[in-house]
Amino acid sequence: MRLELREITKQFPGVLANDRISISADRGKVLGLLGENGAGKTTLMNILSGLYRPDSGEILIDGEPRLFSDPADAITAGIGMVHQHFMLVPVFDVVESVALGAEPVTGLVHTFDRATARKRVVELSAQYGLHVDPDAKIEDLPVGVRQRVEILKALYRKSDILVLDEPSAVLTPGETEELFAIIRGLAAGGTTVIFITHKLNEVLEVADTITVLRRGRVAGTVLPDETSREELANLMVGRDVELTVTRSPAKPAGVVLELVDLNVRDDRDSMAVRGVNLEVRAGEIVAVAGVQGNGQTELVEAITGLRQVDSGSLRIGGQVVEHASPRRVSDLGVAHIPEDRSRDGLIGSMTVEENYILDSYHRDPYSNGGRLDWKVIGEKAEVGVREFDIRTPSIETHVGALSGGNQQKVIVAREFSRPVQLVIAAQPTRGLDVGSIEYIHRRIIEQRDAGAAILIVSTELDEVLALGDRVAVMFAGQIVGVLSSDQATKEAVGMLMGGVH
Amino acid sequence: MRKRLRPLLVPALAVLSAFIVGSLFLLFTDIKHIGMLTTDPVGAFTGALGNIIDAYGALIVGAFGDPKRFSTALQSGDIHDWTIAFRPMSETLVAATPLMFTGLAIAVSFRSGVFNIGGDGQFVLGALGATVVALMFRGMPAPITLVAALAGGIVFGAVWGFIPGFLKARTGAHEVITTIMLNYVALQIVQLALRNDFLRQSTSSQPISKVLDFVRVPQLIPFLGLRLHWGFIVALLVAALVSWFLFKTTKGFELRSAGLNLTAARYAGMSAGGSIILAMVVSGALAGLGGAFQVMGSVTQMSNDVNSGYGWTAIALALLGGTRPGGVVAAALLFGALNNGGHGMQVASGVPLDLLVFIQALVIMFVAAPDLVRKIYRLRQPAIESGAPAAEGAPA
Amino acid sequence: MTASAAPANVAPVALSEGHRRAQRAARIRGVIFAALGVMGLSFASGTMSHDVTFRFWLQQQGGDAWEFHAMAGVIWIIAALITGIGGILQLWRGASVSWRRWMALAMPFWIAAIIGTLLAGKPAVLTNLFAGSLEYAFPIAMGAFAAMICERSGMLNIAIEGKFLLGACVASIAASVTGLVIVGPIVAALVGVGVGWLMTWLAIRHRVDQIIVGTVVNFGALGVTNFMYLRVLQLNTNLNTPPTVEAIKIPLLSDIPVLGPILFSGTPYLYLALVTMVVLTYMLFRTRWGLRLRASGEYPQAAGTVGVDVIKIRYRAMMLAGALAGFAGSYLSLHSAGSFQINMSAGKGFIAIAAMIFGGWNPIGAFGAALVFGFSDATQTLLSSLGVDVPPQILTSVPYLVTIVVVAGLVGRVRGPAMAGQPYEQS
């Protein structure tokens, strides 16, 4: 079926998330929807799936205007969603997960007709080459298979339009290739596919047309054969993607962080970090690149004492810290900028000054024998706000009321407010505007020049290349290559990230 | 000034609404006047209304005293008359004292993101602990016995708070379930203990302890001979202490951080388990201290009747007071007045005291649903929800 | 869901943490079982000469009896052997041994041995003990079903106690006023539905924390029913003298020797509990309703995105649970006591929650747990009627302590619905 969105507008308090967006996708074609974080992709997708209602604009299916008041309407209209965070009940098996909401039933009390549902799941699985065991429990399945279950869900509902939201974010390169094959198969069979991503290569590889979103608007629609990476990047960010932060060559000194044969398990007990060896010296920035979910999160958590080390050795400034608490690691002069700032780095309903002392409240001069000295805290917080240009009405404002960039600056100000020998920064600029990104990069380089060892973990290739004096690439829990900054080209790092080495 | 009073608006309206609903309830259960409805509707209605006014009037007199008594006392100048005039107020404060302790206990736990609904168990075990220690120290100088017994109450309460805290920190056991269960276990422990001859009043057939007349908490105004004791003053001091602890110390900062965002607290190097355990221990200790003062100040013998749902009322107090110690004290004074006035109401107008339990439940409901109150009274939504966190259950 | 994943192409290096934990738990259980076995044997040596006489009525109360006769020591030995073998198996074979089955097998012998020893030679009729267990178990089981439906849908309902009280109170009044016994339970169930709706409305519409909502209902119900009793029922006793629910002997089945008087001569309440158990099990695990209900409790967003109306499901679940709990409350006033009394639920609503957890959020398990709890009540009654002096507090505490042990996962964790108690916003 042909899907068309006309002039879709959606306003949230303070944000115009979608501003007169028009896109269209033909039957049997793949539309790539490209955009950065915050470009309005997710809002558009939620409108399409009936979760949000647009303020104005039309959704047309085969030329006919449709109105979705809830997800059930969208499903009836033939739209199937594969959400980035899988919508699968962990304790259900595949058949139950797929059939939920569209269960075949028999009898008076609507007994779930499992046999019929199972048969269909098996058929669809075979027809589209999905290879899913219908009786496996979701929680026992690897991520790639879970995604195929999500696709099965859409097929089971006879969706003619399949929307995939950042489907490769959690996949290994091999799994991504399999996914592309599946997508091509679906399109060949007549399904309209909308593929939402922020990865240029992926849209170029799989899409028939590409629509680029920027800041809630359509920045352009192009054909993959008639465009280039550079043009897409320009459309997506409105500037050249190359981040230009001027930095002098590194002057590495003694080893600060030393990982030897480190093994760490993830929440599901499987080994996420496998035998990692890495050194970070004072005065240099080591950037860890990799697709999300290749063990970077666990690596950072292990270094900062938040996760148990399974085996191997971990030293910071010569001290053995394999089994140290987060507090002990922080006391060694380690600054940690966590991956998810609102969940891990800040307490939204506490004030700016309270967040400013969140991990040093017990230290001089804030604490005086277990008593907090609010006068000193206030003074220091004011200094931090001024130095780091944090835009806030006052230091007594709840930090949750600030913009993302200012929130991140609160964290950076806090972490850099005490002497540090090691900085661990995970996705330090995720979701920030250009100005904030450059500001935070500059601050990190200042720390390096002041003699700190810096470990940056980022899934953004541009960030890795802009900051790393050395670039370590993580794949499947292992460091598959360490490149010096002149060896580290986009192509070289990209190959390693994709598991080619 | 108006700005300062704004936060009080919703709690005040919540209490008002609860009383209005309570009145309706009185109206519908007035069997006598309902029976008259067909024969004399006007008389029935005015009679029923009169009953309600009488009941609430008796409630106020019972809580704060009768103006006539005061004028009598003024005229005669007799100490005895003064005692009578002030007795209702004294009793109100006596009734508020245990509530202040348990209310503060629950407020501390809510602030820390832990849902302690085991205040009842911690309170009775605190009372039991005080009784046991007092009897063990019998014969020692009274002040030493008293201090030891209060400490006993604190320790017993703290232990009863520690168990669910430890289980939650270590195994993730939901504290709501464990504290409910421990409330019942505490009751059984008290009954079992009261079978023991060491505690038991041998002349009574009821499970009740020996009289603790040798460790009475001193009266606050001895010459008036009122029951009001130093426990009330201690409760006020403890409220100030709790406030200082929560807002001016590093440990308090840790508890508040953990209560608002446990992950961020962990990332900031705080010990999540430690915060949970500390919060529960402090909470239990406060409730236990309340129990100790109750058994040695307000009543003189340990029995199961020493507690009358103080742990549950405390949830209402913590919510009504916005989990701020000052607010909790104010709420406890209000509820103390209600409970004490309720006795007066029961005697004077025959309306059962339990009406106030119902009203208290309604107060919790209205305070916990501020938008409901705002809708009923057509108030504007405040721009930013001010101050204290809503009592949020800790993550299961 | 975890964002990180192990690459599919690499096999796990070592035993997973979960597996190791299970093995450790099995070892701990094994040691405990073995220790209990040894303990049983040591008791046996002291009680070889104790006579144990259990009698069961063959057809009816006071009629002919079937007598079971043994030495206490022998029963102890059997109990000890079963437990000990179970323990050794677990130590030897690890977590693959289904320890619950061994426990279930050993339990009757332990109970017989303990009771036999405590009776110290006095003969006892056990028909009433078992029939009594079933009777005591009814409100607990029904309350557990109610709490379970709520939790499965994602609502944490701690207000079973309050609904019991309200149900008991209105059932007594309704049955007294109409003179028809059947009206009592119906009105009680309807009031339960109303309370269930109110709770959901507060929790979902006004975003009140579900535990606070439960507290309000428990507290309010206590106040209202006490007030009603003191202000209305005490003065107008005609409003509190309901016709009572009597036992019904099921034809034929009640004639089965021994079992008839235990199982098939009870009240309609008992039969309804059994029917509810079977129906609920089927509904939860075999029907569309059950599938959607469980999805709402495990991962409401997953249900919401496929068009399932989670809010509606939760409303309905809470109202159904209210009906069950209110109905169960009517048992207290219409059967056990014959009238409404102040605070007559006496914590049964909380034991019901305990039974739900102990039974693993599963109707059959919950009924079993309710039976265990009912049995501890009935044992207490039996022992005190025979003048055996055991402090009742110890037995009474058992359900509470067992629940704490279970929620703490000290012996093999049972897992409840993941999102119970978490609010769900449907946009």
Minimum CA–CA partner of B186 in chain C: C397
Into how many domains does chain C fold?
A: 2
Phi-psi region of A369 (alpha: psi -120 to 50; beta: other; left: phi over 0): left
Q: Are C292 and C390 in a shared domain?
A: yes
Least CB-CB distance to A372: which of B253, B267, B384? B253
Q: Do the chains contact at A350 and B263, CB–CB below 8 Å?
A: no
Residue A470's pLDDT band, with cuts at 50, 70 and 90, is: very high
Domains of chain B, by residue range, sit at: 2-376
Of the partner residues B253, B384, B389, the one whose CB lies closest to the CB of residue A361 = B253
Of B248, B268, B269, the CB nearest to A372: B248
3-state secondary structure of A442: helix
* Residues forming a β-bridge with A475: A478
Closest by CA to C101, choosing from C82, C128, C122, is C82
Residue with the larger pLDDT of the pair B25 and B99: B99
Q: B165 pLDDT exceeds 50?
A: yes
Task: Give the number of B-C residue pairs with CB atoms closer than 8 Å.
Answer: 149
Taking residues A458-487, what's their average pLDDT? 88
What is the distance of C-alpha A13 from the center of its chain? 24
Which residue in chain B is spatially nearest to A326 when comparing CA positions?
B269
Cβ(A34)–Cβ(A212) under 8 Å? Answer: yes
Look at residues C71, C94, C125 and tell me which one is the last residue of a structural domain.
C125
Q: Are residues C260 and C203 in the same domain?
A: yes
| Nearest-neighbour CA in chain A from B236: distance (Å) | 21
Closest CA to C306 of A79, A54, A136, A139: A79
Percent over 90 (pLDDT), chain A: 42
pLDDT of A489 higher than 70:
yes
CA-CA-CA-CA dihedral for A120, A121, A126, A131, to nearest 10: -170
Same domain, C46 and C114: yes
Cβ neighbours of A338 in B, within 8 Å: 267
Chunk chain C into consecutive blocks of 10 residues (it has 427) and report each block's average pLDDT, rounded to whole numbers. 35 50 78 87 79 77 76 86 87 75 80 79 79 88 95 92 95 91 93 96 90 90 91 85 81 75 80 93 95 93 90 95 95 86 88 86 90 83 74 76 76 67 70
> Distance (Å) from the C-alpha of residue A354 to the closest C-alpha of chain B?
9
Is C249 in the same domain as C340?
Answer: yes
pLDDT of residue B226: 85
- Both tokens of A61, joined, read 């299916």
The mean of the pLDDT values for chain B is: 87
* Residue of A76, A86, A95, A110 best to disrupt the C interface, most CBs of C under 10 A: A110
pLDDT at B150: 95
Same domain, C87 and C229: no
Q: Do C6 and A477 touch (CB under 8 A)?
A: yes
Q: Looking at chain C, which subunits does it touch, using at least 3 CB pairs closer than 8 Å as the criterion?
A: A, B
Q: Does residue B67 carry a pLDDT above 90? A: no
**Chain C CB contacts of B170 below 8 Å:** 408
Give tens-digit pLDDT for A360-417. Answer: 998 888 998 889 999 999 999 999 999 888 888 889 999 988 888 889 999 999 999 9
Neighboring chain C residues of A293 at a CB cutoff of 8 Å: 3-5
Strands (E) across C132-239 are located at: none
Tell me what pLDDT residue C2 has. Answer: 34
Q: A243 pLDDT band (50/70/90 cuts)?
A: low
- Residue B285 scores a pLDDT above 80: yes
Cβ-nearest to A101 among C7, C9, C307: C307
Contacts of A102 in chain C (CB under 8 A): 306
> Looking at the structure, do residues C108 and C136 belong to the same domain, yes or no?
no
Among C206, C217, C232, the residue with its CB nearest the CB of B372 is: C206
Query: pLDDT at residue B132 above 90?
Result: yes
Same domain as C116, residue C227: no
All residues at 6 or more sequence positions from A34 whose CB lies less than 8 Å from its CB, including other chains: A197, A198, A200, A203, A210, A211, A212, A213, A232, A235, A236
What is the C-alpha to C-alpha distance for residues A304 and A325, in angstroms, rounded to an integer?
8
DSSP string for A100-141: TTS--EETTTTEE-HHHHHHHHHHHHHHTT----TTSBGGGS
Which residues on A lie below 8 Å from B260 (Cβ)?
347-350
Q: Which of A329, A349, A372 faces B250 most closely, judged by CB atoms? A: A372
Q: Which residues of A touch B261 (CB under 8 A)?
A: 343, 346-348
Closest partner CB to A293 (pick from C5, C294, C427): C5
Q: Domain A3-237 sits in which CATH superfamily? A: P-loop containing nucleotide triphosphate hydrolases (3.40.50.300)
Last residue of a domain, one of C98, C125, C152: C125
Q: Taking an 8 Å Cβ-Cβ cutoff, which residues of chain B contact chain A?
A: 248-251, 253-254, 256-257, 260-261, 263-271, 384, 389
Range with top average pLDDT, A172-176, A293-297, B210-214, C276-280: C276-280
What pLDDT is stored for residue B219 in this prediction?
A: 86
Contact C307, C313 (CB under 8 A): no
Q: Where along chain A do the CATH 3.40.50.300 domains lie?
A: 3-237, 242-333+420-501
| Interface contact flag, A361 B250, Cβ < 8 Å | yes
Confidence of residue A227 (pLDDT cuts 50, 70, 90): confident
Residue C6 token pair: 């192990």
CB pairs under 8 A between A and C: 136
Of A70, A89, A109, the CB nearest to C283: A109
- Separation of CA C49 from chain center: 37
Neighbours of chain A (3+ CB pairs under 8 A): B, C
Cβ contact, residue pair B357, C222, below 8 Å = yes
Residue C14 included in any domain: no
**pLDDT above 70 for A60:** yes
> Same domain, yes or no, for C120 and C162?
no
**Would you call B189 and C224 a contact, using CB atoms and an 8 Å cutoff?**
no
Q: Which residues of A touch B382 (CB under 8 A)?
A: none
3-state secondary structure C260-318: HHHHCCCCHHHHHHHHHHHHHHHHHHHEHHHHHHHHHHHCHHHHHHCCCCHHHHHHHHH
Place of tokens 């929440």: A267
Q: Which residues are bridge partners to A482 per DSSP?
A: A472
Residue C187: give its domain's CATH number. Answer: 1.10.3470
Higher pLDDT, B186 or B371: B186
Cβ pair B250:A359 closer than 8 A: no
CA distances from B285 to B115, B124, B154, C189, C230 (A): 15, 12, 5, 41, 36
Identity of the residue numbered B274: G
Q: What is the DSSP letter of C13?
A: S
Cα–Cα distance, C414 to C97 (Å, whole number): 16
Structure confidence at residue A373 (pLDDT)? 92
Q: Is the pLDDT of residue B198 over 90?
A: no
Which of A118, A125, A87, A93 has the alpha carbon at shortest distance from A104?
A: A118
| Cβ contact C231–B176 (<8 Å) | no
Distance CA A230, CA A215 (A): 19
Of B248, B268, B269, the CB nearest to A371: B248
Burial C210-225 (b: 16+ CB within 10 A, else e): bbbbbbbbbbbbbbbb
Q: Are residues C87 and C145 in the same domain?
A: no
Q: What token pair was written down for C305?
A: 């995105």
- Are C348 and C269 in the same domain? yes
Task: Report the residue of C225, C227, C395 to disrupt the B interface, i.e. the one with the largest count of B CBs within 10 Å.
Answer: C227
3-state secondary structure of B148: helix
As a CATH number, domain A242-333+420-501 is: 3.40.50.300
Q: What is the pLDDT of residue A168?
A: 78
- Rounded to the nearest angstrom, the minimum Cα separation between C338 and chain B is 22
pLDDT recorded at residue B392:
35
Q: Is A375 on the interface with B (CB under 8 A)?
A: no
Q: Which domain holds residue C44?
A: 19-125
- At A51, give phi and psi (nearest 5°): -80, -40
Nearest residue to B254 via CA among B230, B281, B273: B273
Angstroms from A241 CA to nearest CA on chain B: 32
**Is the pLDDT at B131 greater than 60, yes or no?**
yes
Q: Compare all CA atoms of chain B with the CA of A354 and give the residue at the minimum distance.
A: B253
Q: Kindly state whether residues C74 and C192 are assigned to the same domain.
A: no
Tokens standing for residue C329: 């409350």
- Is the link from the previous residue into C261 a cis peptide, with omega within 30 of 0? no
Residue range B265-282: average pLDDT?
Answer: 92
C418 CB neighbours in chain A (<8 A) are 90-91
Its ipTM equals 0.83
- Fold observed for domain B2-376: ABC transporter involved in vitamin B12 uptake, BtuC (1.10.3470)
Q: In angstroms, what separates the C-alpha of C418 from chain A's closest C-alpha?
A: 9
Q: Report how far residue B160's alpha carbon sits from residue B287's, in angstroms, rounded to the nearest whole number.
A: 10
